[in-house]
Amino acid sequence: MIESVVKTLLYVAPFVVIATFWVMAVRERRAAGDPTARGFFERNGWVVASYLLIAVGLWAVVMVVLPQLTMVDFSFHPKLPPKDYGGPKDHYTLENYHYFIFGSTTERESLNIIHLRAFGLTILASVGVTIFTFFFCYPIAYYMAQVAPPARLRLIMLMLIVPFWVNEILRAFALRILFGTSGLINNVLVALGLVGEPIDFLGLDIGMYTGLAYAYLLLMMFPLYNAIESLDKNQIEAARDLGAPWWHIHAFVVLPFAKPGVASGCTMVFMLSAGALAAPQILGGPNSLWFTPIVYDRFYQAFNWPQGSAYALILLLTCIAFVMAVLRVFKVSLGEITR
């Protein structure tokens, strides 16, 4: 009973929000009393207006909002065979979340160490990858934005974009060849006599971290570049004339100005690393447990879809909370980073 009520409310909610805004818009237009103001249908005509409404409704409501809401709802259900859906055994439960913490749907004796550790590690490693890509990209972004002549800038842009067009799997594969026990790096190290035995880069997860940084480098580069590019060169000149050492200029002039770009780049790299699937699957060592492949296994090895949804939701919410917290600390608004 309550299940179907909640679900109905869930599905009606988006339409209520749209209707509320629509009514507000109409009332405000009437109150303003501007005779040239036209409503949505008057402005576009029936044909185009219907196309716009259907297309955006399909997208925003049917493709984005409803699936997310369904996933949230689904994660609070037990695992059931299809015939029991909507039956008496179908009720709201926290057992999937319980399992994430305690490793069992009912007991509380021990913690689910493997999953909790993988989760924590994923968040920490994503932070690490984000910080690394920031420092790695910054010099090039600064050079592109403030120093490079236009022809050189065009060339660098092209050189940055080309590898980015190559498939994620193939980029991971390329790194696997490079880092493998009989890969080039090991061959060179052994040939030079630096190490006696090949180093297991993949087993140590070095390959995976490199792969993540490699995959999302450009998502840091472009926001950084865009932000630094709009900084007036005179400000840098002024700082230099006043005797600021070079690192003062970057730390106290360029970076504060480029803060929205930094935030935007960091948000994207962090979110995508935490949700990465290809790099951990291909480059992760046998003992590495990244959280996304665990989510994948909930679905396709444990065949426990509600639990998989719960795990996916935990990941999503943690990422969002984390990003929001960081934005607050750095006093950047969400509007600024999506600009």
Partner 1 sequence: MTSRAIFRLMFGFYSLVFFGFLFGPLILMGVTAFNTPTYPQAYPFESFTTQWFADLISDRDLMDGLVNSLIIGAGVVLLAVPVGLAGAIVMTQVYWRARGLYYLLVVSPVLMPGVILGISTVIFWKDVTRVTDAKFFYDGFFLTILGQSTFISAYCMLVFLARLQRFDTAQDDAARDLGATQFQVFRDILLPFLRPAVLSASVLAFLSSFENYNTTTFAILSDKTMVTVLAGRVRQGTTPAISALAVLIIAVTLIGAMIYEVLRRREAARAARAAATASDDVLERLEAPAPGRA
Interacting positions 134-193 with partner 1 (CB under 8 A): 136, 139-140, 143, 150, 153-154, 157-178, 180, 182, 184, 187
Amino acid at 253: V
Which CB atom, from 113 or from 162, has the smaller least distance to partner 1? Answer: 162
Build a one-symbol-per-residue string for 274-313: x at contacts with partner 1 by CB under 8 A, - elsewhere: xxxxx--xx---------x--xx--x-----x--xx--x-
Q: Which of residues 66-85 bind partner 1 (CB under 8 A)?
A: 66-68, 70-71, 74, 82, 85
Q: What does the DSSP 8-state code read for residue 196?
A: S
Which CB atom, from 101 or from 156, has the smaller least distance to partner 1? Answer: 156
Residue 25 touching partner 1 (CB under 8 A) = yes
CA pair distance 32, 74, nearest whole angstrom: 45
CB 107, min distance to partner 1, A? 27
CB 110, min distance to partner 1, A? 28
Report the SS3 class of residue 249: helix
Which CB atom, from 111 or from 320, has the smaller least distance to partner 1? Answer: 320
Q: Which of residues 89-108 bind partner 1 (CB under 8 A)?
A: none
Close Cβ partners of 35 (under 8 Å, ≥ 6 residues apart): none
Close Cβ partners of 134 (under 8 Å, ≥ 6 residues apart): 220, 224, 262, 265, 266, 269
CA pair distance 216, 178, nearest whole angstrom: 18
Among 16, 19, 55, 195, binds partner 1 (CB under 8 A): 55
Among 9, 37, 45, 237, binds partner 1 (CB under 8 A): 45
Close Cβ partners of 339 (under 8 Å, ≥ 6 residues apart): 260, 264
Q: What does the DSSP 8-state code read for residue 82?
A: G
Among 6, 13, 37, 48, binds partner 1 (CB under 8 A): 48
Dihedral sign computed on CA atoms, order 33, 39, 42, 43: positive
Build a one-symbol-per-residue string for 230-269: x at contacts with partner 1 by CB under 8 A, - elsewhere: -------------------------------------xx-
User: Contact, 218 vs 136, CB < 8 A?
Assistant: no
Build a one-symbol-per-residue string for 197-216: x at contacts with partner 1 by CB under 8 A, - elsewhere: -----------------x--
**Paired tokens of 337:** 């980073």
CB 231, min distance to partner 1, A? 15
Which CB atom, from 182 or from 301, has the smaller least distance to partner 1? Answer: 182
The angle formed by the CA atoms of residues 25, 29 and 31, to the nearest 5 degrees, is 115
CB 22, min distance to partner 1, A? 8
What number of CA atoms fall less than 13 Å from residue 277's CA on the CB side? 8
CB 150, min distance to partner 1, A? 7
Q: Identify the residue whose tokens are 């290809």.
A: 278
